[in-house]
Amino acid sequence: MLLIYEGILTVPQIGLDRVIFSADIDSPAVHQELLSEIEFTSRLEVKGFPTLVLEREGVFTTIIYDYADHKATLDGIKRFCQ
């Protein structure tokens, strides 16, 4: 099933407490995690966002992510899983 939402969701709409969310998103731990993710993706030579990268036995493979045709993305995932 493919879920599509066009618009903006607010923190309360998805069931989160605004004060806690704000504190968490501004925390040093989240900032460090973001820096780690940026460094990791630079090693993978990821050029854009979002990018779908799958890993098997230590080998990372970039899957074509097609906004216009989700079937192309699913086909790439299926090929990877074979």
Name which residue leads in pLDDT, 1 or 37: 37
> How many CB atoms are closer than 10 A to CB 3?
4
**Alpha helices for the chain (secondary structure H):** 18-25, 28-43, 70-81
pLDDT in the model for residue 4: 62
Model-level pTM? 0.57
Q: What is the pLDDT of residues 25-39, one digit of tens each?
A: 999 999 999 999 889
Tokens found for residue 47: 């050029």
Q: What string of DSSP letters covers 30-45?
A: HHHHHHHHHHHHHHTT
Annotated domain spans of the chain: 14-43, 46-82
Residue 56, beta-bridge partner list: 59
